[in-house]
């Protein structure tokens, strides 16, 4: 603070000017003087004793609002009247610790809590979940399938998947 006050500069003074002032006023300095100077300048800056503007340290403006820290400010605490005296709560035995995992389902439906019963009796669209089963063939469909001529030739049986592409045979006239 003494070095900053001695500079009488409106813009403040930088670390080297502060270090030179300390070296000129003190006879003996420890070998870690620069490290100590950096540490104490950072401490004074974080506590609000000095301000850092464009790498120059100066005394903070007394009219300026205090700088807020990072994050959300704490909630204001309610004022406590001295007329009200806090009464300690009666001692209650602590609840049993819960076991690990999901609790087991109740054995009978009558012991279900009302919230679970309300969920299980929710309106249903009338359709069961999942993919519907295939329809069974009726008698008329089986008769039609028997009477219909076979669509596939009696020769080679087709395998699964897409059949290979058939290349047309090139006909080249002789004598060209």
pLDDT along the chain (176 residues), means of 10: 80 86 85 88 84 83 72 83 62 75 80 52 73 82 61 70 86 71
Q: Is residue 168 part of a domain?
A: no
Q: Is residue 112 part of a domain?
A: no
Q: What's the domain count of the chain? A: 1
pTM of the model: 0.37
Tell me the angle at which helices 15-25 and 33-47 cross, rounded to the nearest 10 degrees.
120
Give the CA-trace dihedral at 7, 13, 15, 16, to 10 degrees: -60
Show the domain range for 40.
Answer: 2-58
Q: What is the CA radius of gyration of the chain?
A: 45
Run of H or E including 52? strand 51-53
Q: Is residue 22 part of a domain?
A: yes
């Amino acid at each position: 603070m003494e070095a900053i006050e001695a500079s009488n500069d409106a813009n403040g003074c930088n670390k080297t000017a502060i270090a030179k002032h300390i070296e000129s006023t003190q006879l003996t300095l420890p070998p870690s003087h620069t490290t100590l100077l950096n540490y104490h300048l950072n401490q004074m800056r974080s506590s609000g004793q000095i301000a850092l503007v464009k790498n120059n340290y100066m005394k903070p403006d007394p009219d300026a609002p205090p700088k807020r820290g990072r994050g959300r400010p704490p909630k204001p605490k309610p004022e406590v009247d001295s007329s009200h005296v806090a009464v300690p709560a009666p001692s209650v035995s602590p609840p049993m610790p819960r076991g690990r995992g999901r609790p087991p389902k109740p054995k009978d439906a009558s012991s279900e809590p009302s919230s679970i019963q309300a969920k299980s009796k929710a309106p249903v669209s009338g359709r069961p979940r999942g993919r519907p089963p295939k329809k069974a063939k009726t008698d008329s469909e089986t008769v039609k399938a028997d009477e219909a001529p076979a669509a596939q030739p009696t020769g080679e049986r087709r395998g699964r998947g897409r059949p290979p592409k058939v290349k047309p045979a090139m006909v080249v006239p002789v004598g060209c």
